[in-house]
Structure 1
Amino acid sequence: ARPFFSEKLIPAMLRLLKKEKAVIPVKKINKTVKMVDSGYIKNTVDRDVLRTAETPQGFDFRCMEKLYKKKNIDRIRPTDEAAVFESAGYKVRVIEDPDFNVKVTEREDLEEVERFMKKRKRG
């Protein structure tokens, strides 16, 4: 879960969903990313075109329902709902979300959340 998304994010996504079937927040990548093959660097990926997918993600419910009812959904092994739309040929609209929104899945992530909350309290 990503509990710290911006309060402006949901209204912005809802506006986009009036025209789009899928909208997800993304963040720019500030790290160097390497493609690796057989233990060797194949090439360095241009991070200017890379983004990390964030949550919450927004979708047209009826469209999503139809996509999930298709039998080949398990074959594509999606890592998020946006991948389901991508695999069906839909364009997924992105919206930049510059705010802190750490993904909380592991115990260590809670330490980062605690640091953020303390910093936020201090102002």
Structure 2
Amino acid sequence: MIFNPHAWYKRNKVVTHQPERRQADRQRVLKGGKVFYKNYSISMDCTIKDESSTGMKIKMDANCALPSDVALLNRKDGKLADAHIVWKHGDLLGVKFSSKMEDVRSFAKADIRRMSIIATRG
């Protein structure tokens, strides 16, 4: 039998992987979240699917139209960060933090404190 590399390639479907571009490893999680925009006047529920120190993958309604810069609240931890939407595929979005995650209960602004109480109730 003669080895045919072209036939072997087609049959075994060799796959090349793209290099990882994230700065930090993400861990799979399942947490409730909220996305805020327009100076916190509009919020939408989301599910945090995975997270790292530099960003998150979130799931939300595929039909929602979001600006590229939002604030993202991790409802379980009560932590909020400004974020930039890097990619969107259907109902999944990848966001990169543009500020560090901060506990909203420690913020000085009364409107942010009220927002955190409402958002972390469930």
- Give the TM-score, by structure 1 length: 0.21
Whose helix proportion is higher, 1 or 2? 1
Higher relative contact order (CA 8 A, sep 6+): 1
Q: TM-score, normalised by structure 2?
A: 0.21
